[in-house]
Amino acid sequence: MNRSQLVSAIANKAEIPQSKAEKALVIALDSIIDTLTNGETVSLVGFGSFGVRKRAARKVRNPQTGKEMMIKAAIVPYFKAGKNLKDVVDTDGGSPK
């Protein structure tokens, strides 16, 4: 599912125009991004949590040349699925469709 398909699904399920569904999605995503930018977490009970972690600088190897290089430290976003989401996705015993 891509962004436009998600907007269509929201519009259909909420029985609202696609323009309002698009606006709601943009606001929700912007709010999550703003919260993560401030170093805070977003917890949606039953769905999951968004947060940020510090990733240390580390040595890596370029697979094409074999040369070692350093990747600088960074703050990276993460998502941890909630129990309800895991259970719903795993309804068929874990085999992908």
CATH number, residue 93: 4.10.520.10
Query: Is the same domain home to 1 and 28?
Result: yes
Around Cβ 35, how many Cβ atoms within 10 Å? 15
Residue 14 and residue 55 in one domain:
no
Q: What is the pLDDT of residues 34-52, one digit of tens each?
A: 999 999 999 999 999 999 9
pTM over 0.75: yes
Q: What is the pLDDT of residue 91?
A: 83
- Burial class of 21 by CB neighbour count within 10 A (0 to 12, 13 to 18, 19+): buried
Looking at the structure, tell me whether residues 36 and 52 fall in a common domain: no
Q: Are residues 65 and 87 in the same domain?
A: yes
Domain of residue 96 covers 48-97
Q: In this structure, are 28 and 64 located in the same domain?
A: no
